[in-house]
Structure 1
Amino acid sequence: MCSNDSTKTEPQPEYASFENAAEFHGHVCPGLSSGYQVAIAAMKALGVTRPKDEELVAIAETDACGVDAIQVVTGCTAGKGNLIVHDYGKHVFTFYCRESGKAVRAMTCLEEFMPQKPEMDVLRPKVFSGTATEEEQTTFYAMVNQVSKAILEAPSEKVVKLEFVQMEPPKKARIFTSIPCGCCGEMVADAKTREHEGKQICMPCFLKLKE
């Protein structure tokens, strides 16, 4: 929950472990490690714990690996409507506490953790396309784990740059009424439909009719 009362003395909150984030994400990587650091640093800066609902909102400027760590640690998820993704390709995250009205912008600073990045960049497409040799795969994942470990073990201020910002409260998640699509019959949120020949139809059907 969010709190702006700095006079209260409370036990330090427990955060989801990195192992929890890695299990959710499926593998360990620098993006996940930096996202984990970002999530904890931002929550500490705002003085918040993991919310039950929309008390905390995360706005991600990427849809990459770090977002999964954000979801696991902060409880900001797409399903609850308190995770907003604007994919600008930037590892930047803004967190807003509805109770205090405070917001913090977190940017990852990973340059010093990527000394072997040129070699990783050469190996990455080969590994992910399935053309890398067994030796190249071993080398690549050893470097990935090394960088990930270094990011996790570093002081948060070396990984995350935090800045308090002013912003308007994000809109709360909307609750829609489901209606049957006038074309395929499948249930769809009423606000997500399009009108065609007097019928409310879902977007996939609407796009097919426009082809």
Structure 2
Amino acid sequence: MGYQSDPEKSGLILPFSSAVKFHGHICPGLAIGYYASHIGMRWLHSHIGDDSEVMVMVENAGCAVDAVQVITGRTIGNGNLIVYDYGKQVYTFMIKGTGKGLRISLRPEYTLERIDPEIAALWEKTSAGEAKAGETVDLPRRVERICRAILETSGDVVFDIREVAIDFPGREPGAGNVICARCGEPVSSDKARKTIDGYYCQPCSQRN
């Protein structure tokens, strides 16, 4: 199966501008998540007519997650979007109960550092308030060029795309609350640390 460029012309998903509006600004991470979602949804539509049994797993907790939520309709709260903060541009789409999935991972040549080796330093200078006027103006232009380079290139060039056998974990049943022995605030029992002195929420358990 080929993966065309220009995902906005597929007619299957919302335009990139919808993801930008939701996220608040344009950035390469958002473009990557958007394009991966486009490819994943195309694959899913070719296998099923109803996407109610779809789950998505993302291996980073960055800007891309916003694009995935907007384009796929999967959310963390509903339990059909699973986010692992591994710092990897990897996206897996699965049809529940089939063991079938599509794994989409960014190729090394399409990392930010490869497309524009100087932008990371410019971003850092801008964030620190050290960029010159010309550099501040140039940054959004370079960001847009990077996004275009990603979105206007064939998907199988930007990503390694392959079908995989995978079983997503089921959503854990809701846990009851316990009271943190230090701060006195309620905390889900499955997230609390149990000690001989009682339960502690994670922030309190990390304090001396």
Q: TM-score, normalised by structure 2?
A: 0.79
Q: Does 1:70 align with 2:92?
A: no
Percent identical residues: 34
> Which residue of structure 1 lines up, in the alignment, with residue 123 of structure 2?
124
Whether the 8 Å CA contact 1:51–1:74 is kept in 2: the answer is: no
Whether the 8 Å CA contact 1:116–1:143 is kept in 2: the answer is: no
Please list the CA deviations of residues 177-211 of structure 1 after superposition, one character each: whole Å capped at 9, or x if unmatched. 22333443312112222233453332233333xx1
Whether the 8 Å CA contact 2:181–2:197 is kept in 1: the answer is: no
Aligned counterparts of 2:142 and 2:171: Cα–Cα separation in 1: 41
Query: Aligned AA for 1:25?
Result: H
Query: Aligned AA for 2:152?
Result: E
- The 3 A distance-change label for structure 1 pair 203 and 80 is same
Aligned counterparts of 1:49 and 1:24: Cα–Cα separation in 2: 27
In structure 1, runs of 5+ residues without a counterpart are 1-11
Moved more, 132-141 or 170-179: 170-179
- State the 1:79 CA deviation: 2.0
- State the 1:166 CA deviation: 1.1
Aligned counterparts of 1:147 and 1:127: Cα–Cα separation in 2: 17
- State the 1:161 CA deviation: 2.7
Q: TM-score, normalised by structure 1?
A: 0.78
> Which residue of structure 2 lines up, in the alignment, with residue 58 of structure 1?
56
Whether the 8 Å CA contact 1:43–1:49 is kept in 2: the answer is: no
Aligned counterparts of 1:110 and 1:204: Cα–Cα separation in 2: 36
- The 3 A distance-change label for structure 1 pair 158 and 87 is same
Give runs of aligned pairs for residues 99-110 of structure 1, distance below 5 A: 99-109=97-107
- The 3 A distance-change label for structure 1 pair 64 and 184 is closer
- State the 1:117 CA deviation: 0.8
Please list the CA deviations of residues 76-102 of structure 1 after superposition, one character each: whole Å capped at 9, or x if unmatched. 322223333333332111122204331
> Which residue of structure 2 lines up, in the alignment, with residue 32 of structure 1?
30
- 1:118 aligned counterpart, secondary structure: coil
- The 3 A distance-change label for structure 1 pair 50 and 68 is farther
Aligned counterparts of 1:102 and 1:117: Cα–Cα separation in 2: 36
Whether the 8 Å CA contact 2:19–2:66 is kept in 1: the answer is: yes
Whether the 8 Å CA contact 1:42–1:162 is kept in 2: the answer is: no
> Which residue of structure 2 lines up, in the alignment, with residue 97 of structure 1?
95
- State the 1:41 CA deviation: 0.3
> How many residues align structurally?
196
Whether the 8 Å CA contact 2:109–2:115 is kept in 1: the answer is: no
Whether the 8 Å CA contact 1:193–1:201 is kept in 2: the answer is: yes
Moved more, 137-146 or 176-185: 176-185
> Which residue of structure 1 lines up, in the alignment, with residue 7 of structure 2?
none
Whether the 8 Å CA contact 1:82–1:173 is kept in 2: the answer is: no
- The 3 A distance-change label for structure 1 pair 143 and 198 is closer
CA RMSD of aligned residues (A): 2.8
Query: Aligned AA for 2:56?
Result: A
Q: Does 1:151 align with 2:150?
A: yes
